[in-house]
Amino acid sequence: MMRELRKVLNWKFWGMMLIFGLLIPWVFKQGGSSVQPYSVIISLFILNSIFSVYAGSFLRKNGSFWYLLIVWPLIFLVSVWLGYVPAIYGYAFAVLYFVLSIFSYTAGQEDDVDIEKQIPIDGGIKDV
């Protein structure tokens, strides 16, 4: 139990969330209006989308609960509330990051066995 909890509480992963959610938008905001169009494309769309996919797959691989997926978009929303990212598209990007992390969290689960369709063997197999 402690080992699994230690995997989820990986300080590098949570630090990367702070870097991608707060530090990178702040750096692009400090760059001025000449850097602003590139920050939307490079930082907000490409880098953070890739990190969203990584976050979902990291949490799935470590057996985390699904509700931890909301932490990454919430950290990004802090940068919107602080004014690092314009609110006009900041909220849409937060939703996009949440959806991407859900997709990567649930990817590959299409072939899982359906428990409802299995034959119960509590009393043994009697009629098949």
Q: Residue 97: what residue type?
A: Y
For residue 70, the tally of other CB atoms under 10 A from its CB is 14
* Whole-prediction pTM: 0.73
Kindly report, residue by residue over 36-63, the tens digit of the pLDDT: 677 677 778 888 999 999 999 888 888 7
For residue 42, the tally of other CB atoms under 10 A from its CB is 14
Kindly report, residue by residue over 57-93, the tens digit of the pLDDT: 888 888 777 788 899 999 999 999 998 888 888 899 9
Q: How far apart are CA 36 and CA 115, in angstroms?
A: 50
Q: Quote the radius of gyration of the chain (alpha carbons, Å).
A: 20
Q: How far apart are CA 78 and CA 22, in angstroms?
A: 7
The secondary structure of residue 107, as a DSSP letter, is T
Domain boundaries, the chain: 2-107
